[in-house]
Amino acid sequence: GEDVEQSLFLSVREGDSSVINCTYTDSSSTYLYWYKQEPGAGLQLLTYIFSNMDMKQDQRLTVLLNKKDKHLSLRIADTQTGDSAIYFCAERTPGAGSYQLTFGKGTKLSVIP
Amino acid sequence: NAGVTQTPKFQVLKTGQSMTLQCAQDMNHNSMYWYRQDPGMGLRLIYYSASEGTTDKGEVPNGYNVSRLNKREFSLRLESAAPSQTSVYFCASATSQETQYFGPGTRLLVL
């Protein structure tokens, strides 16, 4: 079965880079996603990467994908206090007539001013 | 566009009571999903609907029923609530090829 693993906590100083790591198990995954959840809110899509890509950059966000090791990372450059949130990694797997997302348990990022 | 909306935002139930969580999307998406989020467990899929008229079980369907009323609306029903169903419930929608967009959630407490 599918499983997505993330470390639970990360603490960084404001202005530093944050790197959140994720491992997944389903080699048939076509897309991998990063979602952000602020306290009391729903999940907001941050970025995603197609499985035939190694890297995707979007402003302060860089996603790296190592398909051989099934490892995904999210780097946030110049981390700000507003980046404090829980970050979820998710893999997309085929489903009946649709697709399903399998989520990791989330990494809580704390930014120290 | 309002995106994905959910009602109610909060609900307190007694064990054995029933209720329906409502979800609607205005993005003309075919697929809709219900998840629950529990501390330390991430999000787990309860049911999904690939298109109007179809529904399928996810990872944790027991104790729930769903109805895909039309393309816009997908409801989740708890027939006899249990304390183990205390959770935050999220609805999401997507086209067949695109990413899932989430609603703001319903916080449910079952006493």
Alpha-carbon gap: A41 to the closest alpha carbon of chain B (Å): 6
For residue B65, the tally of other CB atoms under 10 A from its CB is 14
Closest by alpha carbon to B37, among B60, B54, B62, B63?
B60
Residues 6+ apart with CB under 8 A from A5: A22, A23, A24, A104
For residue B43, the chain A residues in CB contact (below 8 A) are: 43, 88, 101, 103
- pLDDT, residue A112, reads 95
For residues A64 and A19, the answer to whether their CB atoms sit within 8 Å is: no
Is there a contact between B103 and A42 if contact means CB atoms under 8 Å apart?
yes
Given a cut of 90, whether residue A11 has pLDDT beyond it is yes
pLDDT digits over B64-99, tens only?
Answer: 999 998 999 999 999 999 999 999 999 999 976 668
Whether the link from the prior residue into B83 is cis, omega within 30° of 0, is no
Q: Does B103 touch chain A (CB under 8 A)?
A: yes
pLDDT digits over B99-109, tens only?
Answer: 889 999 999 99
Q: Among all chains, which residue has been given the structure tokens 């609306």?
A: B73
Measured between CA atoms, the residue of chain A closest to residue B42 is A105
- The dihedral over CA atoms of A48, A99, A66, A85, expressed in degrees to the nearest 10, equals 50
pLDDT digits over A24-73, tens only?
Answer: 987 777 789 999 999 888 899 999 998 888 999 999 999 999 999 999 99
- pLDDT, residue A1, reads 47
Measured between CA atoms, the residue of chain A closest to residue B59 is A102
Given a cut of 70, whether residue A2 has pLDDT beyond it is no
* C-alpha distance from residue B19 to each of A17, A21, A41, A101, B51 (Å): 45, 38, 22, 26, 24
